[in-house]
A and B are shown apart, each in its own frame.
Chain A
Amino acid sequence: MTEILHSGLLQRALVEIVVLGAACGALGVWLLHLRQAYAAESLAHAMLPGLVLASLIGVPLLLGAGAGVLVTAALIALASRDTRVGSEVAIGVTVTTAFGLGAVLALSPDVPVGLDKLLFGDLLGAGTTDLLVAGALAALVGLALAAGHRQLAVAVFDPVSAPSLGVRPGRVELALLALLAVAVVAAVLSLGNLLVFALLVAPAAAAMRLGRSVRAQLWLAAGLGFTAGALGLVASAELDVAAGGSVALAAVALYAIAALARPAGSRGAARSPIEALGTSP
C-alpha cells in the first residue's frame, strides 16, 4: 500500500483506472441490456491495426485507435448488407481480419510500441493527457446516459411499441454504440484492446445480478468498476504482476461473487448475463 501512496506513477494509474472503471461499468449495463456485448468486444479488438499503424507512422495512438474503429464499423456495415450472412458473421469476419492484420503489422521490427502494450495496455504509463481523456470520457458517459435514460429504457423494454412512444430504437442503439466506440478508444491505451472488454462487461454483469432497478444497476456497475480498478491495481503493485491483467481479473472476481450471492433464477435476479451475451434481440 505504501508504494501506491508514494509513487506518482501508481497514483496516476489509480486515478486513471477507477475513473475508466466507473465510466465503462455504467455504460456496460446498457450494452448488456441491449445485448451488444459482442459489439463491445469486437470494437476493442478491431482497433489493433489502427494502433499499430499509428505507432509505425508516429502519430498519437489515440488517433490510430479512432481511425481503426471507424474503418471497422464501416466494414461491418458493408459486410452486414449481405443478407446471406448475419451481422454476427459479418462482425466475426471483419474483426478477425483486422486483428490478424494488426498482429502481422505489429510483429514488424519497425514498430516502436510492443505488441504486448497494445494488447494488454500500459496502465502505469498513464500521463496527464490520459487522465484528462479518462475524466472527459466519464463526464460524457454520465451526461449521455442521464440524457438518454428514458429513450434507452423504452428501446430495451419494448422496441416494438417504441415509435408510438416517441422513441426510435435504431437511433438509440446507434448512439449507444457511438458512445461505446468513444469509450473503447479512450480506455484502450491504458487497458489494451484485449482487457478493456472486461471493464465493460464484468461490473455490469455483476450489477445486473444485484440491482432491482436500472438506476440501481447503473450506480452499482459504476461502483463495481471503480472497485475492480482500485483492487486490481493494488493487487498488481503488491504482487508485482501486470496491472491491466489484474484489473480484469478483479472485475471478473467481483462478478463471480455477485453470481454466487444471487444465482440466476433467484428472486429479483435479472436474466443471466451469460445468456445475454449469447442471444441477439
Chain B
Amino acid sequence: MSSTARVEVAGLAASYNGGPPALRDVTFTAQAGQAVAILGPNGGGKTTLFRALLGELASVTGTVKLAGATAYVPQTERSRLDFPVSALDVALMGAYARTSWYRRIPAADRAKARAALERVGLGEHARQPFGAMSGGQRQRVLIARALVQDAGVLLLDEPFAGVDQTSEESIMGILDDLRAEGRVLLIATHDVEQARRWDRVLCVRGAQIAYGPPADTLTNAVLEATYGAEIVLLDCGHRAVAVQHHDHAH
C-alpha cells in the first residue's frame, strides 16, 4: 500500500506569522522505502520543515508534494504523561480523523490498533497507562498510532531521545521494517553517527546545507556549516562526532 509513497520538496521557504523565513532553499526528493535523516542544530529548522510538510504553516512558498498519508510522531515527552490514557487509547487516536464525531470507532479500526501494538511488540501492554511506560515503549506506541493512520510518510521527531539502548535497537528494527514496506521516513535527529545509518541525509541550518547519501553528505565541511561553532569535531579516522548540548524548550 505504501510503495507509492514519496516526498518531493522544491524551493521550500517557510516562516511563522509572516516573519522572516525560519527555513529556506529546501529541495529534496525521498523515494518509497527511503529513510532520510534531517540533521541540524536546535532551532535550525527541523521542526519548521515538519510543520511545513504537515501544512500547519500559513506562509510556505515553493512546492511540497506528498504521496501517501502523512503522520507525525512526536517526542514522547511532548505528550501529557499525566493524562489517563492506555497504550490502546493512544493507538486508536490514529483512527480519529476518519471517524465521525457521532460514531463509535469501528471494530476494524480497533483490530488495526491492536495489530499495530502487536507489531511494535507491545500487544500485551495494550491496557497499560501510557504515562507509566518507559520512553522506548511510549515511542513505539506513537509509531503504532502512525500505523493506524495508514501513514505512507512518517515524520519522526528525535525518535531516539530519552530511549535506552535496548529500546533503541528495537525501534531501529521497526523503522527498518517500515522502510522495507515502502514507507518514507523522515527522521529529525542531532546524532551524526545515527544519521549515517539512513539512506539520505538532509542538513539544515536556517537553509538547506546539503542533501544526499550519508557518505557524500557528512563531511567535515558540511558538518561545520551545519553546526557552526556549536560543534566539536573529533576526527577519529573518518568518524566525525558532533558534541552538542541538547536542550528543548517545553
Which residues does chain B contribute within 8 Å of A148, judged by CB atoms? Answer: 101
Query: Does residue B54 face the partner (Cβ distance < 8 Å to A)?
Result: yes
Taking A160-B72, A166-B96 as given, write out 7 further A-B residue pairs in contact, using a Cβ cutoff of 8 Å, ordered by the A residue number. Answer: A150-B101, A151-B101, A154-B96, A164-B149, A166-B97, A211-B84, A213-B85
Identify the closest chain B residue to A149 (Cβ).
Answer: B101
Identify the closest chain A residue to B92 (Cβ).
Answer: A150
Q: Which stretch of B36-44, B75-83, B190-198, B207-215 is in the interface?
A: B75-83
Identify the closest chain A residue to B98 (Cβ).
Answer: A166
Query: Does residue A270 face the partner (Cβ distance < 8 Å to B)?
Result: yes
* A158 adjacent to B54 (CB under 8 Å): no
* A150 adjacent to B72 (CB under 8 Å): no
Give which listed residue, A33, A156, A165, A214, contacts B96 with CB less than 8 A: A165
User: CA separation between A26 and B192, bound complex, in Å?
Assistant: 49
* B56 adjacent to A163 (CB under 8 Å): yes
User: CA separation between A164 and B52, bound complex, in Å?
Assistant: 12
Query: Does residue B22 face the partner (Cβ distance < 8 Å to A)?
Result: no
Smallest distance from the beta carbon of A55 to chain B beta carbons, Å? 40
A-B contact pairs, 19 of them (CB 8 A): A33-B80, A150-B101, A153-B89, A156-B80, A157-B79, A157-B83, A157-B85, A157-B93, A158-B74, A158-B80, A160-B74, A161-B73, A161-B74, A164-B54, A164-B70, A167-B97, A213-B86, A216-B84, A270-B82
Which residues does chain B contribute within 8 Å of A212, judged by CB atoms? Answer: 84, 129
The interface centre, meaning the residue of A151, A157, A271 with most chain B CB atoms within 10 A of its CB, is: A157
* A213 adjacent to B74 (CB under 8 Å): no
A165-B97 contact, Cβ under 8 Å, with A158-B78, A158-B79, A160-B74: yes
Secondary structure at chain A's binding surface: helix, strand, loop or mixed?
A: helix
Query: Does residue B90 face the partner (Cβ distance < 8 Å to A)?
Result: yes
Query: Does residue B94 face the partner (Cβ distance < 8 Å to A)?
Result: yes
* B80 adjacent to A157 (CB under 8 Å): yes
- A residues with a Cβ closer than 8 A to B are 33, 147-148, 150-151, 153-154, 156-158, 160-161, 163-167, 211-214, 216-217, 270-271
* A157 adjacent to B90 (CB under 8 Å): yes
Smallest distance from the beta carbon of A158 to chain B beta carbons, Å? 5
Which residues does chain B contribute within 8 Å of A166, judged by CB atoms? Answer: 96-98
Query: Does residue B26 face the partner (Cβ distance < 8 Å to A)?
Result: no
Query: Does residue B202 face the partner (Cβ distance < 8 Å to A)?
Result: no
User: CA separation between A166 and B150, bound complex, in Å?
Assistant: 14
User: CA separation between A217 and B74, bound complex, in Å?
Assistant: 26
Which residues does chain B contribute within 8 Å of A216, judged by CB atoms? Answer: 84
The interface centre, meaning the residue of B84, B86, B99 with most chain A CB atoms within 10 A of its CB, is: B84
User: CA separation between A214 and B72, bound complex, in Å?
Assistant: 24
* B84 adjacent to A154 (CB under 8 Å): no
Which residues does chain B contribute within 8 Å of A157, judged by CB atoms? Answer: 79-80, 83, 85, 90, 93
User: CA separation between A161 and B98, bound complex, in Å?
Assistant: 16
Which residues does chain A contribute within 8 Å of B93, judged by CB atoms? Answer: 150, 153-154, 157-158, 165
Which residues does chain A contribute within 8 Å of B98, judged by CB atoms? Answer: 166
The digit string for B149-186, where 1 denotes a CB below 8 A from any CB of A, is: 10000000000000000000000000000000000000
6 closest residue pairs by CB, A with B: A166-B97, A271-B82, A164-B72, A158-B79, A157-B83, A161-B72
User: CA separation between A217 and B83, bound complex, in Å?
Assistant: 11
The interface centre, meaning the residue of A153, A154, A217 with most chain B CB atoms within 10 A of its CB, is: A153
User: CA separation between A157 and B56, bound complex, in Å?
Assistant: 19
User: CA separation between A211 and B85, bound complex, in Å?
Assistant: 11
A217-B84 contact, Cβ under 8 Å, with A157-B79, A160-B74, A163-B54: yes
Identify the closest chain A residue to B51 (Cβ).
Answer: A163
User: CA separation between A153 and B85, bound complex, in Å?
Assistant: 9
Smallest distance from the beta carbon of B163 to chain A beta carbons, Å? 18
Which residues does chain A contribute within 8 Å of B72, judged by CB atoms? Answer: 160-161, 164
User: CA separation between A103 and B36, bound complex, in Å?
Assistant: 63
* B54 adjacent to A270 (CB under 8 Å): no
Query: Does residue B71 face the partner (Cβ distance < 8 Å to A)?
Result: yes
Give which listed residue, A147, A158, A271, contacts B101 with CB less than 8 A: A147
A160-B94 contact, Cβ under 8 Å, with A151-B101, A165-B149, A212-B84: no
